[in-house]
Amino acid sequence: MSRRGTNIAAALLGLIVLLLLAVGAMSQRLDHLLRENPAVAECLQAGGSAEECREAAREKP
């Protein structure tokens, strides 16, 4: 593999790693938010839309 090909492969691998880290961070944040707002979790599990679940979060403290 040429030097340019190696650099491209390393850059792509780096981007994939960053993407996986970002997805992991978002997953942890979502988990934390759902633990703090059980009404939203119930709404999402029942198939509610984002707007419906926001309303459920406002109604139940």
Asked if residue 57 is part of any domain, the answer here is yes
User: Which SS3 state, helix, strand or coil, does residue 1 take?
Assistant: coil
* Segment 23-36, tens digit of pLDDT: 999 999 989 988 98
> What pLDDT, on the 0 to 100 scale, is given for residue 24?
97
Residue 53 domain-assigned (yes or no)? yes
Question: What pLDDT sits at residue 57?
Answer: 76
Please, how many CA atoms are within 13 Å of residue 34, restricted to the half-sphere of its CB?
Answer: 11
- Structural domain that includes position 27: 22-61
In a domain, 10, yes or no: no
- What pLDDT shows up at residue 61? 59
Say what the pLDDT of residue 37 is. 85
Structurally, the chain folds into a number of domains equal to 1
Query: Do the domain assignments include residue 1?
Result: no
In angstroms, what CA-CA distances link 9 with 1, 18, 19, 32, 43?
10, 14, 15, 35, 43
- Residue 31 placed within a domain: yes
Low-confidence stretches of the chain (pLDDT beneath 50): none
User: 44 lies in a domain?
Assistant: yes
